[in-house]
Amino acid sequence: MKTINFLLDSANIPTELREIAEKVISGKRIDYQEGITLFEKGELNFLGILADFVKNKFHGKNVYFNQNIHLEVTNICRYKCVFCSFSRSYRDLDSWEMSEEEILERVKNFQHSQITEIHITGGVSAKYSLDFWCNLLPKIKNLLPQIHLKAFSAVELFEMFLNAQLSIYQGLTRLKNSGLDSIPGGGAEIFNEKIRKEICSEKIDAEKWLEIHETAHQIGILSNATMLYGHIENYEHRIEHLEKLRNLQDLSQGFLAFIPLKYRSKNNSLSEKVGEVSIIEDMKNYAISRIYLDNFPHLKGYWAMSGKEAAKTSLHFGVDDLDGTLQNSTKIYSMAGVEFENQKVEMSVLELKKMILDDGFIPVERNSLYQKIEK
Ligand code: V47
Ligand code: SF4
């Protein structure tokens, strides 16, 4: 509160920013135009203080983390999103496609570990049908009975249900009955129709993405949401994206976390046209997301995308959750040029805790529903 009063007392804040800050402090919602003003005129320090205030209201000094792995079952994908460095065709020597046996073998390796969540995704490929997963999810749960399965982006789900000729409701119900616990936030990219057509023309549109998440929430499957930013979109597009998510959350209350994903520019077809935005832009984007999404409980910093240093800094800009130990299980971002120590995408519990503690926060190990894991 001291810092926030100091902020308001400061003589050189423009009136429109002061009014926004007063609204946020008194728990009022800011609107579309005010969101744009924050992007255009909000300085980093101002945004950090305001986002930290919002985060504090939700979680105090707590910062959550989890022990998890990703299972990227295939990088073969028949879509051609221009920002993607991950996707390959059957002919590519570095493509992979895991069989049922290989997936179970991988899962078995974690039987004696402390992981609480497996995040399953992959390219869009007919091989991984609804039947394939309804047969396999129970086998995974059999090997790891306590595991939370957060699986399949809305884009993958749409393809699965289309091929199975089932409605979204029917398909999700089958998956839920087979062991699906929640849905990750991928495939949202940027909702604006024009930009979406330019960067991922084959993907379902915003309305379908939102419908899939809304239906999931109705049947008790919680989910996350992402936003891919820092490519060809502008601030209006980002606020439009946040606005659509905030509206759905008002209705359905089923989103757990929002995860901003910065466009990483290596090895994809957008690389020649677009570079990467600065870390200052990343922090502003975290802060404004935290301020705007007043009904999202969590703002997740995905360190495999941002890098560790930026993840640490993001804790001062509204982020309350660091995902996760990862155990060297994801390739999406190393393929897009993010570099990791010893080429390994992993953080120990000790390292995560230290990162959080060093910046003055309290590390809290969580499960996928953000319940504290007592040790
Ligand atoms: O939808 C692909 C993004 C997403 C690039 O829900 C890229 O907990 C940046 O959704 N630069 C998939 N981003 C990852 C994802 C995710 C990750 C971590 C946690 C959760 C969660 C969800 O990755 C895609 C796309 O937006 N992506 N290529 C790239 N070059
Ligand atoms: Fe395929 Fe997903 Fe890459 Fe698009 S982002 S090309 S859907 S793997």
CB 336 less than 6 A from any atom of ligand 1: yes
Query: Atom 8 of ligand 2 has which residue's CA nearest to it?
Result: 123
pTM (predicted TM-score): 0.97
Buried b / exposed e over 201-216, threshold 16 CB at 10 Å, is: eebbebebbbbbbbbb
Q: Three-state SS string across 184-232, please?
A: CCCCCCCCCHHHHHHHHCCCCCHHHHHHHHHHHHHCCCEEEEEEEECCC
Which of the residue ranges 10-24, 194-208, 286-300 would you say has the lowest mean pLDDT?
10-24
One-letter amino acid at 246 equals R
264 CB near ligand 1 (under 6 Å): yes
Averaged confidence pLDDT in the chain? 96
Contact between residue 290 and residue 22 where contact means Cβ atoms under 8 Å apart: no
Q: How far is CA 72 from CA 132, 144, 307, 309, in A?
A: 15, 18, 20, 25
| 259 Cβ below 6 A of ligand 1 | yes
Which residue's CA is the nearest one to ligand 1's atom 15? 186
What residues line ligand 2, using a CB cutoff of 6 Å? 77, 79-81, 84, 86-87, 123-124, 155, 200
Which protein residue's CA is at the shortest distance from atom 2 of ligand 2?
123
Q: Could you read off the pLDDT of 247-257 as tens digits, one per residue?
A: 999 999 999 99
Using alpha carbons, select from 283, 241, 223, 299 the residue that is nearest to residue 54. 299
Give phi and psi for 241, each to the nearest 5. -60, -50
Q: Find out whether the beta carbon of 225 lies less than 6 Å from any atom of ligand 1.
A: no
Q: Would you state the pLDDT for residue 116?
A: 98
User: CB of 189 closer than 6 A to ligand 1?
Assistant: yes
Q: Is 228 in the pocket of ligand 1 (CB under 6 A)?
A: yes
Amino acid in position 348: S
- Give the integer Cα–Cα distance in Å for 33 and 12: 21
**Going from the N-terminus, what domains does the chain have, and what CATH number goes with each?**
2-54 (no CATH), 60-365 (3.20.20.70)
- Nearest C-alpha to atom 30 of ligand 1 is from which residue? 264
pLDDT (tens digit per residue) in 293-350: 999 999 999 999 999 999 999 999 999 999 999 999 999 888 998 988 878 899 999 9
Minimal CA–CA distance to 112: which of 137, 140, 144, 65?
A: 144
Reported as a pLDDT band with limits 50, 70 and 90, residue 2 is low
- What's the rounded Cα separation, in Å, for the pair 136 and 121? 14
- Cα of 2 vs centre of ligand 1, distance in Å, is 37
Identify the band that residue 1 occupies on the pLDDT scale cut at 50, 70 and 90: low
